[in-house]
Amino acid sequence: MNIFVLGTIAIIAYILQIFLGMKQIKNFNSVYIRMKRKGKVAIGRRPGKIASGTILLLGVDAAGVIQDAEMMQGTSILARFKPRPQFIGIDIHQLMDAPMLSEENKLTRQAAANAQKVYVEVESGNHRDEAPVSPIFNVGNQLSLMKLSIQDKLTKKGC
């Protein structure tokens, strides 16, 4: 194959990924805004690097009872939010004790646990949103640790 054909295919795939990623963000925003108009929204995340990622949005009333629930789960940018009526009517404070949660997959349980944890922290005023660490920053940290380890071993041998 010609290198220009491969380059064109790569550029088209990249543009398609950007377009579908923007549609996914638009889907998240529309679901979030719709729920936010009705009350508080608890967001549970279980990010996926290799495995499927999960985002759970729970619309919660003033008493802490879940009134609306939608979840996006998947590994691709084609994933969209789907209603999860089994969460409706559960008090978010007792979400992890709900019998229906044992029937859900591990990723959904983890996202539900995250939503409950963040909701309770925000409710009590103890929540601090921590920015995720960039993978590039992690590589830099690992290189710094390796450098220190090598320097430490060299100084021990020199003694």
The CATH number assigned to the domain holding 52 equals: 3.90.1010
In a domain, 148, yes or no: no
Q: What's the pLDDT score for residue 13?
A: 93
CA distances, 100 to each of 14, 83, 87, 97, 157 (Å) = 40, 15, 8, 9, 60
In a domain, 157, yes or no: no
Summary mean pLDDT of the chain: 84
pLDDT, mean of residues 95-105: 88
In a domain, 101, yes or no: yes
In a domain, 52, yes or no: yes
Q: Does position 154 have pLDDT exceeding 90, yes or no?
A: no
In a domain, 29, yes or no: yes
In a domain, 100, yes or no: yes
In a domain, 142, yes or no: no
In a domain, 91, yes or no: yes
Dig out the tokens for 147 from the structure. Answer: 């450098």
- Number of domains, the chain: 1
Residue span of the structural domain in which 88 resides: 3-131
Q: Find the Cα–Cα–Cα–Cα dihedral 142, 147, 150, 153, rounded to 10°.
A: -100
Quick: pLDDT tens for 40-94.
999 998 887 666 788 999 999 989 999 999 999 887 777 889 999 999 999 999 9
Quick: pLDDT tens for 117-139.
999 988 887 766 665 555 555 66
CA-wise closest residue to 28 among 38, 16, 20, 17: 20
Quickly state the pLDDT bin for 147 (edges 50, 70, 90): confident
